[in-house]
Amino acid sequence: MYKIDADFVEAVSHSDEFNANACMHCGNCTASCPMGLELLPRKLFRYVVVGLEKMVVENAETIYSCLLCKMCEESCPADVHIAGNVKKLRNYINTKYYKL
Amino acid sequence: MALPTGKVIGIMADNLRKRKNVIPLSAKKSTAWAEGLNLPRGGETVIYTGLLYQLMPGITGLAAKMASYENSFMRHLMGMGRLANKFINVAAFMGGAKPAVYKEYNRILRNIACLLQKSGVEFGYLYEQELYTGALLHDNGVEHLVKKQARRIWDVLQANGVKEVITTDPHTTNMLRSVFPEVIEGYDLKVRSYLEVLAEVAPEATNPLNKELVIHDSCMYARYEDVIDEPRQVLAKAGAKVVEPDYAGKLTWCCGGPVESLFPSKSKKVAEERVSQLAENGRQITAMCPICVFSLREAAEKRDDGTEIHDIIDHLSEAYCLDK
Ligand code: SF4
Ligand code: SF4
């Protein structure tokens, strides 16, 4: 059972740089990803939106493996800024966990 | 086993903070490419390399080391490496390259500048005042340092009265054109890539290429900066027949390079897949970013089937008899 972290939701999900609420879980992004990233962005962004910080941090490797190539964005029907969201998550992890 | 992400980014961040670059580079190495070109210092329009080509020998040397550490006990020592790096420049020991490699990247920049001159474009250069844009740290989400670097660069540009820059690679173009305006108020620099400039002004080739070239678009140019038609126009002027692979233009396939420093094995797999896609259409491949060229070339060499990856400027140099 994972704890829902309201501060995390506030810091990431409610920030201007993060837009994932429109995601409709169609899976186009996953299908078109050259990296074959299974988790990004569908499940990962859902973890963020509902505040499962621990799940996000456990998936740091996936977050830093994204090429930021935006191939996924070309086929996203909801106009989710996937690469920008990934960068926002990196920024959060860098600050809180890597103390950069 | 993956490299320790926080430690690797930490070394790059410490370097940018302390040494103004992710891999420190001497002023001599940064500006050697321009020796003898007599480019005026400063001016309203300057060429801006963002030091990416000059950094490539260091980046590639470092990438090779990282790849060897990825599955060895050495990855556990990255924390010590970061600590040591605060006092000495660790990258200098890890990422050295042979003089011939530096010469090769310098030649590319020289040829870009020469072709611009040959096309009648007037521009200056900031020499040792030019700084790396921080693109690697922007990708990795270290935004507070990127903001600082943007400010440093904007101050230099303003102090020199620069109004317009001509960039030499997609990552520098993106930082100066799309990222910096978001972090600096009143930033109004005009930024064009040399390919955009050449698409407008390059003359017809003196030695038309008369060959087919398979094009690999950079993600950064195609999807971030909308630079898609220009390289094709420039290649057409050079007399090349551009062959489009299945994934091209807005739908180009990444070279894998962006994660080379953190996940070398994953990066190489993407590059191999991309080279296979490209090679289905021909053996001569043209790319327009030093990171793409490096990643794809490494993958192409493994195939041993004559597939060749070149920087677009190499093809243009042949068409315009440059290569000095
Ligand atoms: S930006 Fe990241 S998630 Fe999207 S296609 Fe590229 S590697 Fe995959
Ligand atoms: S393509 Fe867009 S809408 Fe579809 S799952 Fe991915 S992020 Fe969500």
Domain chopping of chain A, boundaries: 6-96
The CA–CA distances, whole Å, from B308 to B133, B235, B313 equal 30, 17, 14
Q: CB of B198 within 8 A of CB of B234?
A: yes
Contact indicator for B24, B89 with CB cutoff of 8 Å: yes
φ, ψ at B65 (rounded to 5°): -65, -45
Q: Is the CB of A28 under 6 A from ligand 2?
A: yes
Strands of the sheet containing B240-243, edge to edge, are: B240-243, B211-216, B284-287, B308-311
Output the CA–CA distances (angstroms, integers) from residue B20 to A15, B7, B66, B146, B228, in the order listed: 29, 18, 22, 11, 32
* d(CA B154, nearest CA chain A) in Å: 23
Ligand (nearest to CA of A69): 1
Helix ranges (H only) for B280-311 are: 290-303
| Cα of B292 from ligand 2 centre, angstroms | 27
Nearest to A68, CA basis, from A81, A55, A53: A81
Which residue matches tokens 């963020």? A48
Q: How confident is the model at residue B42, as a pLDDT?
A: 96
List, in sequence order, the alpha helices (H) in B20-51.
27-31
Range of lowest pLDDT (A73-77, B5-9, B119-123, B205-209): B5-9
From the list B56, B44, B41, B33, the residue with the least C-alpha distance to B294 is B56
* B146, B179 Cβ separation under 8 angstroms: yes
Which residue of A18, A70, A80 sits with most ligand 2 atoms within 8 Å of its CB, as the best mutation to test the pocket? A80
Neighbours of B250 (CB within 10 A): 14
Which residue would you say has higher pLDDT here, B323 or B232?
B232
Beta bridge partners of B124: B46
CA distance, residue A31 to nearest chain B CA (Å): 13
| Phi and psi, residue B163, nearest 5° | -110, -25
Give the residues across from B205 on adjacent strands: none
| B87 pLDDT tier (thresholds 50, 70, 90) | low
Does ligand 1 have an atom closer than 6 angstroms to the CB of A44? no
Looking at residue B133, what is its pLDDT? Answer: 96
> What does the pLDDT look like over B140-192, one tens digit per residue?
899 999 999 999 999 999 999 999 999 999 999 999 999 999 999 999 999 99
The complex scores an ipTM of 0.92
Identify which has the larger pLDDT, B218 or B77: B218
Percentage of chain B exceeding pLDDT 70: 86
Cβ distance of A98 and B6 shorter than 8 Å: yes
Query: Would the CB of A72 count as within 6 Å of ligand 1?
Result: yes
Q: Does domain B204-319 have CATH number 3.40.50?
A: yes
Which residues make Cβ contacts (< 8 Å) with residue B291, sequence separation at least 6? B52, B56, B59, B171, B255, B257, B258, B260
Tell me what pLDDT residue B88 has.
55
Residues of A in contact with B136 (CB under 8 A): none
State both tokens at A60. 């740091």
Residue B216: strand, helix, or coil: strand
Distance from CA of B123 to the nearest CA of A (A): 32
Which chain A residue has the Cα nearest residue B217? A69
CA angle B192, B196, B201 (to 5 degrees): 115
Nearest to B266 among A35, A69, A70 (CB): A35
B113 within 8 A of B37, measured Cβ to Cβ = yes
Delimit the CATH 3.40.50 region(s) of chain B.
204-319
Nearest Cα neighbor of B51 from B16, B9, B18 is B16
The pLDDT score that the predictor gives to residue B72 is 59
In whole angstroms, give the CA distance from residue B301 to residue A7.
49
Minimum mean pLDDT among A46-55, B82-91, B222-231: which range? B82-91
Q: Lowest mean pLDDT: which of B40-54, B129-143, B173-187, B240-254?
A: B129-143
Instruction: Report the Cα B141 to chain-centroid distance in Å.
Output: 19
| The model's pTM | 0.92
Contact (CB<8Å) A34/B273:
yes
Q: Does B183 touch chain A (CB under 8 A)?
A: no
A83 CB near ligand 1 (under 6 Å) = yes
In contact, B261 and B284? CB cutoff 8 Å: no
Residues linked to residue B215 through DSSP beta bridges, in sequence order? B286
